[in-house]
Amino acid sequence: MKDLLNGWGVTAAVFLPLVGALVMLAIPKSEETLHKVVALVTSLAVFVVGVALLWDFDYDHTAVLQYGQDKSWIELINARYLVGIDGISLPLIALTMLVVPLVIIYSWDHFPAPHNPKAFLILILVLETGMVGTFVAQDLLLFFVFFELVLLPMYFMIGVWGGEQRKYASLKFFLYTAFGSALMIVSILATYFLSPKIAVAGQGMMHTFSIPELAHWHGGGLARTTTLLVFGGFFMGFGIKVPMFPFHTWLPDAHTQAPTQGSVILAAVLLKLGTYGFVRIAIPILPVGAKAWAPVIGLLAVIGIIYGALGCLAQTDMKRLIAFSSVAHMGYVMLGIATLTDFGINAAIFGMVAHGLITGMLFFIAGSVKDRFHTLEIKRLGGLLLQAPRMGWLLGFSVMASLGLPGLAGFWGEFPAILSAYQPAEGLNIGLFRGFMVVAALGTVFAAGYLLWLLQRVAFGTPTEEFEDEHIHDMHFTDYVAWTPMIVLIVVLGIVPGLIFKVTNQAVVHSLIHIGS
Amino acid sequence: MLTHVWIIPLIPALSFVAILAIGKRLPKKGAEIGIASVAICLVLALATGTGWISRVNHPPESAHAEATAQSVEGHEAEATATASATEGEPAASADAEHAEGGAEAEEHHVTPPVQRNVTWFETGDVTVKAGTLIDGLSALMLVIVTFISLLVHVFSTDYVGGDRRETHYFAFLSLFTAAMLFYVISDNTLQMVVGWELVGLCSFALIGHWWEEKPNSDAALKAFLTNRVGDIGLLVGVIILYFAAGKTFDVLSLNTQANAGLIEHNLLLIGSLCLITAVMSKSGQFVLHTWLPDAMAGPTPVSALIHAATMVVAGIYLVARNYGVFFNGLSIGTANVNALAVVGCVTLLFGAFLAFVQTDIKKVLAYSTVSQLGYMVTALGVGGWTAAIFHLFTHAIFKACLFLGSGSLAHHIHSFDMKKDMGGMRKRMPITFWTFLIGTAALMGLPLITAGFWSKDEILAGAHQLGGDGGYRFAVIMGLMGAVCTCAYMTRAIWYVFYGEPRGKSAEHDLHENGPRITVPLIILATGSILVGYANLPEKVFGIGVPESLSLRFEHFIEPTGAYFPSADNSFSHPEFVPWIALVSALAIVIGAGGAYLWYFKDKGPHGITERNKVARTGYKVLENKYYLDWLYTDVIVGFVKGPFARATNWFNQNILDGVVNSVGKGARGAGEFVYHRIDQGVVDNVVKGSGLAAEGSGSVLRKTQNGKVQWYAAYLFLGATILAAIFVIVAS
Amino acid sequence: MFLNQFLLLAAALFCIGVYGVIARKNGVMVLMSIELILNAVNINLVAFSAMWFNTPGANPLAGQVFALFVIAVAAAEVGVGLAIVLAIFRNYKTVDLDQVDLMKG
């Protein structure tokens, strides 16, 4: 069992969804149930692999790359199939593997127009491969391939199954991210060529894409300007994906237009690719650049917090509001990262998982509201607690979790991030970061403001005349199945935050050894 | 029991889950689970209290030895505390300070608090612990919370019986009890933040209990948001103190270090100022108090439990628990004025003014709560720690009595409007009347017989005697003025409610006294309003000595004695009974209550002055509009942020930021079109087209050779072969 | 020389064949002319082979084998060719190649 996992565990997790997708390609389009079953079974199989990986993970040495695989891929440029899991990637992989089956279950009965479960589910499975692959890749080029692989299915998902302005939104999403990727690949190549050659078995000295090797090198001997520019490339690539103010404008459109399933995956996992990139690649490889950029990142993060919150207050559409709240929440994550302290980055990873669960949950609910009321305009809604009490309660629960109520997961992403800003890594301007801390704390008030405002107008009060007599179906069976794990996790992580901190801690400390704090 | 207090909050927490899960199917809709769990908690809390009292009477030997053996600083002290806690032994916080002065330790019995903790989680180089801390203060709070909660539960079975959401109501009462208990037994500030926010959540849910009506949900939102504003201070303060104390949230360690002077004074000052913001919001201190009166939108028992007796004193508890920080940070022992005392004094006076103009009896009581909380904050601000906690204790009981009394009054008429819907209730609801009257007497501080007198008097005495030269003189004056106002507005309320002729709804209804589930809690609380005052008799009252076994029992058992509490070294001292203050405050009752009696009961005095006199009219108007604070917050600040500011941001987002993106997109498209039409179609394509034309021309010539005749083809072939042969020959030769 | 006569004979045969292919209208005659060309080649092959018969290192029978191979292919070709002519005759009722211009571009 252990040998099998070590040898094939990660590869299976990455490519099983693709196998499932290939099987589905062979099945005729009309066999819808079969498609659903195949997709679900595939994603569950991936989940089982994930559980096995989690089970067998050595939690005492989370800084060590586990289940590693190192095979030659493109010999000419020494790009390798180098994968593995450590404490930083583990929580995010687990999150991905959990969310995908839930999304498929949720889709069971409500596929968005134009229906076509075959294509839709295939896209989701391809997405899963891309997402898991990004989190396990330890080779820059491999990382980049998976990072880009994610883009296409999401593009089609928004562009085909999206709302009225889907074409605009999907194109914007694609171009924006592709623009960032273009700068990122430049940085990747720069890193490749500027780093010293290492000995490769049977091929003499060669440059390398290996992330652990590059982190070991950590940009030694680079001119400061070069470091800054290379980091800047990474910053654009990842920052757009996060998204950081002012590169966030693709997000509200993409979220609003995407089908519910797309929004959930987008919020739960896709945004984390960016922050993960910072933690995994940009900071360990270029610590000097990170230090120079940290004040900028921190500033943009706190601007994002306040700005996102203000944006939320002005929204009239529930889904768009939740989308803007992502900008604010990812601001906390980025603030934690910007401090460059182990405490802050642990908080950031916790924040990623928490935000994935909570905002995913909010999008699920918004999707169900749309499904019942055929509108998400806040003005037209009201009295959800009367017409669909369970959904109303869950909305209240998610809102509370989202505004960072202690005892639920959201708090542990937010509070430690604020706390870490009090004392950032050595060499960063303490006064500046303390200012950030106060602004971020101010952001919690705004967060409470827009979220409670949403809750009040959607869940409280009485239904508007329009829907007064309409029979609104409360939660479906699939809703129960899809939402329960997320809610349980939100509560469990809120009470026992150590579950994640314990996993990430060593790996984060290890990734920061060259920051020198 | 002292080491296992973690069970106490767990019980109501489980009860919350149980009520939500099966409450609806039970005959009492879940109330029985709630009552049972809170009753168990009360028993356990009393056990804890008794355990603590016996611990004070017989301090553990080991702790004493430990205390003398150590002369350590904060960090090591914490380590010892943790070590002994893990062994299951009662933990001893370092009492280094006391141990040094051996003589003092003899005279001043040190009873170490019981701390017990486990590792909650580790991140970075920080280990965050979760644990319980039991000393006199937390034991007292456990008893108060469970006691009032139990009475409120019983009261509620009648009061909200048959409500549309009875089950949720009891579920949230349970959750609230759990959160509050969790809060008071916390041994570190992070855990306190958790409890603090959770009680806020329950408050939100219960204020908005009838959320169908917008005003209720508005009030709930306002409460939550105002508290969030204060929470900024809480978060920042906790963070500052966390770093100041060398990266620990531990309350004992933090305060021990603060008392020992190991923390920079500036940090303590900023930290305590931040925390004061939190206190202002949670405990309804002036400028952030506006949510508290609105919170009366919730069911009345909730107002009694949460917004009078327990939750709102969370802020007081925060200061009391971290008194080392505040005492040293604000130099309470040596100053004549400080932020805490000022906030308290302003609140106690301004709150009392507002109580005058209310017509809703619950709002009168709410502003009275604001004012009384002001007394407590003042007491803490002047150094009267025991007085503050004592007042917290007595206030919890008599204010719960008053609130439940107002609930009893309104139970049938469903209105709290004293002017419109009440009057003449004295005869028809005698038990409610008498209990309400006793509660009022306690609130006024009727000398010698009521609890309120002893606690309020101690505060005023403290303000007079403590602090630097001359004491906190302004606090004495404002406190006395507040007392006058208190008496006056309560007399007014009594007049409107119980005397005169029945008006409005009370006239329409056939009113009668409520059942035992309502009256019994009232009677218990009224009795308490008289008796609990004797818990802390001064050593001398008007020159008459009180036997030692009776005097200052409260101070003896409740006030912490460890190094985490400011000691005499930090110029912390206790006030004594001051006869003239007692006399003056008695006089205040005469003036306040007497004046109001004349005005309302006898209809004497310049009635109608608010119409005639410009100054009086303006004053009245300011009061009626609550100093325009609500207008400032809701219309100006929130209105601006939610309205123009948010819209401007959104506009910026849509037009500027997105505009940039879109114009980049458009620009790219424009460039593309230019390239396509001009360059691509104009230049490159013409080249291509030219070649195409050439090909066509040549093709039409060559086409003719393709006549489909095989022999022609053969001829070409041979011709070609011949030519090739000729070339080869030429080349070869 | 010994070789020249054979080459001249082959060239003559070839020219007759080419003339036949180009000038004759009858499809069958054209086929026969193609046979002439092929046989001209055969003669060359055999002649060269004989000439190099005793040279060391060379394969003594390569030319002959090639000639046999060409004869076999030619037989097959004539078979196919006659079949085509037959098919043309059935469709056009003629074997005049000028009438058949299906391949006209």
Q: What is the ipTM of this complex?
A: 0.89
| Interface check B17 vs A, CB under 8 A | no
Alpha carbon separation from B372 to B344, B369, B467 (Å, rounded)? 9, 5, 21
Whether B100 has a pLDDT exceeding 50, the answer reads no
Inter-chain touch C21–B714, beta carbons under 8 Å: yes
| pLDDT exceeds cutoff 70 at B372 | yes
Domain count within chain A: 1
Q: CA distances (Å), A324 to each of A313, A355, B229, B346, B644, in order?
A: 9, 13, 21, 41, 18
Residue B711 contacts C, CB cutoff 8 Å: yes
The Cβ of residue B599 has, within 10 Å, a number of other Cβ atoms equal to 17
Rounded Cα distance, B633 and A449, in Å: 13
> What phi and psi values does residue A516 have, to the nearest 5 degrees?
70, 60
Reported as a pLDDT band with limits 50, 70 and 90, residue B105 is very low
Task: Tell me what pLDDT residue B104 has.
Answer: 40
Q: Inspect the interface and report whether the beta carbons of A313 and B641 lie closer than 8 Å.
A: yes
Among the partner-chain residues B120, B211, B242, the one whose CB lies closest to the CB of A419 is B242
pLDDT score for B80? 41
Per-residue pLDDT at A510: 87
The answer to whether position A516 is within a domain reads: no
Which is higher by pLDDT, A320 or B102? Answer: A320
Length of chain C: 105
| pLDDT tens-place string over residues A447-457 | 888 898 888 88
Residue type, B641: V
Domain of residue A378: give its range: 2-511
Closest alpha carbon within chain B to C23: B711
Paired sense of beta strands B540-541 and A198-200, if any: unpaired
- Residue contact B708–C101, C-beta within 8 A: yes
Residues of C in contact with B706 (CB under 8 A): 103-105
Q: In this structure, is residue A517 part of a structural domain?
A: no
Residue B297 has pLDDT above 70, yes or no: yes
H runs (alpha helix) in chain C: 2-23, 27-51, 62-92
Nearest CA in chain B to C30: B711
Which pair of structure tokens corresponds to residue B311? 């939750």
Query: How many beta-carbon pairs under 8 angstroms link A with B?
Result: 136
Distance, CA of B620 to CA of B611 (rounded, Å): 10
Confidence of residue B96 (pLDDT cuts 50, 70, 90): very low
Q: Which residue of chain B comes nearest to A169, CA vs CA?
A: B662
| A199 phi/psi in degrees, rounded to 5 | -75, 130
Q: Is the pLDDT of residue A383 over 60?
A: yes
In whole angstroms, give the CA distance from residue A193 to residue A203: 17
Contact A155, A266 (CB under 8 A): no
What's the confidence (pLDDT) of residue B77? 41
- pLDDT interval class at C104 (50, 70, 90): low
Confidence band, pLDDT 50/70/90 cuts, at residue A488: very high
Which stretches of chain C sit within 8 Å of chain B by CB?
18, 21-23, 30, 97-98, 100-105
Question: Six-digit token pair at B465?
Answer: 């005697």
User: CB count, 10 Å around CB of B223?
Assistant: 26
Contact with chain A for residue B646, Cβ under 8 A: yes
Instruction: State whether residue B476 is helix, strand or coil.
Output: helix
- The CATH number of C3-92 is 1.10.287.3510
Report CA Rg, chain B: 37
- Report if residue A100 sits inside a domain: yes
- Residue among C22, C30, C103 minimizing CB distance to B715: C22
Model confidence at A361, pLDDT cuts 50, 70, 90, reads very high
For residue A63, pLDDT beyond 90: no
Give A341's contacts in chain B (Cβ within 8 Å): 124
**B711 contacts C103? CB cut-off 8 A:** no
Residue with tokens 């984060």: A508
Chain C: residue nearest B707 by CA? C104
For B365, the enclosing helix (H) or strand (E) is helix B361-382
- Asked if A touches B (at least 3 Cβ pairs < 8 angstroms), the answer reads yes
Q: Name which of B123, B242, B243 is nearest A505 (Cβ-Cβ).
A: B123
Average pLDDT of the residues of chain A = 87
Q: pLDDT band at C103, cuts 50/70/90?
A: low
Alpha-carbon distance of B73 to B262, in angstroms, equals: 9
Q: In B, which residues are within 8 Å of C23 by CB distance? A: 711
pLDDT of residue B1: 65
Structural contact between residues A161 and A141, judged by C-beta atoms closer than 8 angstroms: no
The alpha carbon dihedral of A107, A110, A111, A115 has a sign of positive
How near does any CA of chain B get to the CA of C87, in Å?
Answer: 16
Side-chain half-sphere CA neighbours of A302 within 13 A: 21
Decide if A118 is inside a domain.
yes
Does residue B713 carry a pLDDT above 70? yes
Task: Answer yes or no: is pLDDT of B433 > 80.
Answer: yes
What pLDDT, on a 0 to 100 scale, did the predictor assign at position B558? Answer: 82
Peptide bond into B301 cis (omega under 30): no
**Partner chains of B (3+ C-beta pairs under 8 Å):** A, C
Per-position b or e across B523-547, b if 16+ CB within 10 A of its CB: ebbbebbbebbebbbbeebeeeeee
Q: Is the pLDDT of residue A277 over 80?
A: yes
| pLDDT higher than 50, residue B578 | yes
Q: Which of C22, C100, C103 is opposite residue B714, by nearest beta carbon?
A: C22
Ramachandran angles phi, psi of B626, nearest 5°: 55, 50
Share of chain C above pLDDT 90, in %: 28
Cα–Cα distance, B48 to A437 (Å, whole number): 40
Tell me, yes or no, if B704 comes closer than 8 A to chain C by beta carbon. Answer: no
B542 CB near a chain A CB, below 8 Å? no
Tell me the shortest Cα–Cα distance from A394 to chain B, in angstroms.
13
SS (H, E, C) A342-392: HHHHHHHHHHHHHHHHHHHHHHHHHHHHHHHHCCCEHHHCCCHHHHCHHHH
Q: d(Cα B180, Cα B323) in Å, to the nearest integer?
A: 19
Task: Please say if the pLDDT value at position B550 is more than 80.
Answer: no
Chain B interface test: which of A302, A315, A460 (most B C-beta within 10 Å): A460
CB contact under 8 A, B708 and C22: no
Any chain C CB within 8 A of the CB of B730? Answer: no
Cβ atoms of B650 and A311 closer than 8 Å: yes
Distance CA B415, CA C97 (A): 117
Q: Which residue has the higher pLDDT, A8 or B369?
A: B369
Cα separation of A144 and A156, whole Å?
20
Closest alpha carbon within chain B to C24: B711
- Indicate the range of A257-261, B559-563, C26-30 predicted with least confidence: B559-563
Amino acid at site B436 = F
**CB pair distance less than 8 Å for B708 and C103:** yes
Write the CB contacts of B348 (distance below 8 Å, at least 6 apart in sequence). B371, B372, B374, B375, B378, B478, B479, B482
CA distance A509 to chain B (A): 7
Q: Are the CB atoms for A333 and A355 separated by under 8 Å?
A: yes
Side-chain-side CA neighbours of residue A308 (13 Å): 36
First to last CA, chain C: 48
Q: Which residue has the tokens 């993960």?
A: A276
Q: Least CB-CB distance to B711: which of C97, C102, C105?
A: C97
Nearest to A247 by CA among A171, A310, A301: A301
Q: How far apart are CA B503 and CA B418, in angstroms?
A: 9
- Return all residues near B18 (Cβ < 8 A) that are at least 6 apart: B30, B33
* Residues in chain A, overall count: 517
pLDDT at B674: 78
> Is pLDDT at B144 greater than 60 in this prediction?
yes
pLDDT number for residue B102? 40
At A168, is the pLDDT very low, low, confident or very high (cuts 50, 70, 90)? confident
Chain B residues with CB inside 8 Å of C38's CB? none
Q: Is the predicted pLDDT of residue C67 greater than 80, yes or no?
A: yes
Return the sign of the alpha-carbon dihedral for residues A24, A27, A33, A34. Answer: negative
Chain B and chain C share a number of CB contacts under 8 A equal to 34
| Diameter of chain C measured on Cα atoms | 57
Q: What is the distance between the alpha carbons of residues B642 and B2, in angstroms, rounded to a whole number? A: 49
The partner residue sitting opposite B709, judged by closest CB among C21, C23, C98, is C98
pLDDT value, residue B94? 39
Judge whether B214 is closer than 8 Å to chain C, CB to CB: no
Cα–Cα distance measured from residue B607 to residue B600, given in angstroms and rounded to the nearest whole number? 10
Chain C contact set for B710 (CB, 8 A): 30, 97, 100, 103
- Asked if B235 reaches chain A (Cβ–Cβ under 8 Å), the answer is yes
pLDDT higher at B53 or B630: B53
Among B706, B711, B715, the residue with its CB nearest the CB of C104 is B706
Partner-chain residue, chosen from B122, B194, B228, that has the shortest CB–CB distance to A407: B194
- For residue A448, the chain B residues in CB contact (below 8 A) are 224-225, 228
Classified as helix, coil or strand, B467 is coil
Q: Which residue from B124, B228, B236 is facing A448, i.e. has the nearest CB?
A: B228
- Cβ distance of B197 and A407 shorter than 8 Å: yes
Interface check B495 vs A, CB under 8 A: no
Q: Mutating which of B192, B209, B239 best tests the A interface, going by the most A Cβ atoms within 10 A?
A: B239
